[in-house]
Amino acid sequence: MAVRKMSRKSIIVVVAFAVVLVLAMRWLGNLCAGPELGELSLKTGPESTEMNISLEKSVYGTSTNDMMELSISNLSDSRITHGRAYLEKQENGQWYQLRFRPHETIANELLLDPKETKVLQISLEHYGPRLCPGRYRLVVGVFQPNPGYVTAEFDAE
């Protein structure tokens, strides 16, 4: 079998094509097909001082198959009613709600007795198979006794 010698021009073309291919693959790898951004944040009212939420970690992977541990604490002497948790993503300094499949929630409405803390295992899988890298927060609306909201921020890497 004869080995064909490549011309200098052919080598340059092959190397240039390889460089373009590597750059394109890197660029495509940085694109994210995560959940679609929805409207600007809908949180209303002041941040609640009667309830607190926190996550066990400040950094999570981008897979939405991982479970998150969310602690919800009633800091008051009154019973608190709160709504479901939903996810927001920060883009260019603004928070946006993320769209998810209908009829699915992260955590449903709950009641918290005075000074009670509940720990919930939650999944974000209804936002799609993965999150794009970036800054996120879970938002929970507080309905009673004083309307407001609480948040817990995390990074997806």
Q: What is the DSSP letter of 95?
A: E
Tokens of 27: 């660029």
Tokens 């995560």, residue located:
34
- The parent domain of residue 105 ranges over 37-156
- Pairing of β 94-98 and β 80-91: antiparallel
50 falls within a domain: yes
pLDDT at 70 over 60: yes
21 falls within a domain: no
pLDDT digits (tens, 9 = 90+) for 5-52: 777 777 777 666 655 554 444 443 444 655 566 666 756 566 778 888
CATH code of the domain containing 90: 2.60.40.1930
Query: Closest Cα partner for 60 from 130, 141, 149?
Result: 130
pLDDT for 48: 78
pLDDT for 1: 57
- Pairing of β 134-144 and β 80-91: antiparallel
Residue 124 Cα to chain centre, angstroms: 8
CB contact at 8 A, 11 and 19: no
7 falls within a domain: no
